[in-house]
Amino acid sequence: MTDIPFTAMEIFFLICAIIGGALVAIKFTLGVLGGGDTGGIDGGSGDIDGHADSDAGFHALSLLGISSFFMMFGLSGLALARQNQAGNIVSTLGALVIGAVSVWCIGKLFQKAVKLQSSGTLKTGDAVGCSGSVYLTIPAGGTGVVSLNVRNHLREFDAVTKDGRELPTGASVWVVGRQGNILVVESNQEV
């Protein structure tokens, strides 16, 4: 069996595939190890504190997007030229289309993944209507702490009573409103 030497175009496709694949592998490895943010085209995340945004995982003009394009461009161009015996123009056009489609598909997957996450942040207003108990005594006319189950998460919030009376630790309460970030509660025995 004789080995057919690579043409100049096939070598070009091979180099694109190797460089793109190596950069994708490096980015993946750094991502698994927890380092190496390559969010934008300049390699930076654009964030002041160095943390990437949750939706900055993949953009078409990021280092990962460009690397992915070149990897798929090179692999598909090499396959078209070497295996299918397509001409240089057909191989190049096919590689461009396949590279662009693969980057688009990867981008859509990342968009879907971003929609699966939630911030986990509970707002004070989410607690209105919930019941719980006094965690730290609410003094007459003062602020204490209540423990509430909000969206299946046990949280503590600063609270005052609606009528200004004292509520001891352990008293059952109902959240009837809020004043800024402080909840307004009533005793469950009054409701």
Which of 87, 115, 143 is where one domain is finished? 115
Residues 129 and 166 occupy one common structural domain: yes
- Residue-wise pLDDT tens digits, 50-68: 444 444 455 656 788 889 8
Instruction: Tell me the pLDDT tens digit for each residue of 80-97.
Output: 988 888 888 999 999 999
Domain final residue pick, 79, 97, 115? 115
Of 149, 158, 109, nearest in space to 129 by CA? 149
Same domain for 111 and 129: no
Among 83, 115, 147, identify where a domain stops. 115
Q: Using a cut of 0.85, tell me whether the model's pTM lies above it.
A: no
Residues 60 and 148 both lie in one domain: no
Number of folded domains that form the chain: 2
Asked if residue 3 is part of any domain, the answer here is no
Do both 106 and 147 map to the same domain? no
Give the contacts of 80 (CB within 8 A, at least 6 positions apart): 86, 90, 91, 94, 95
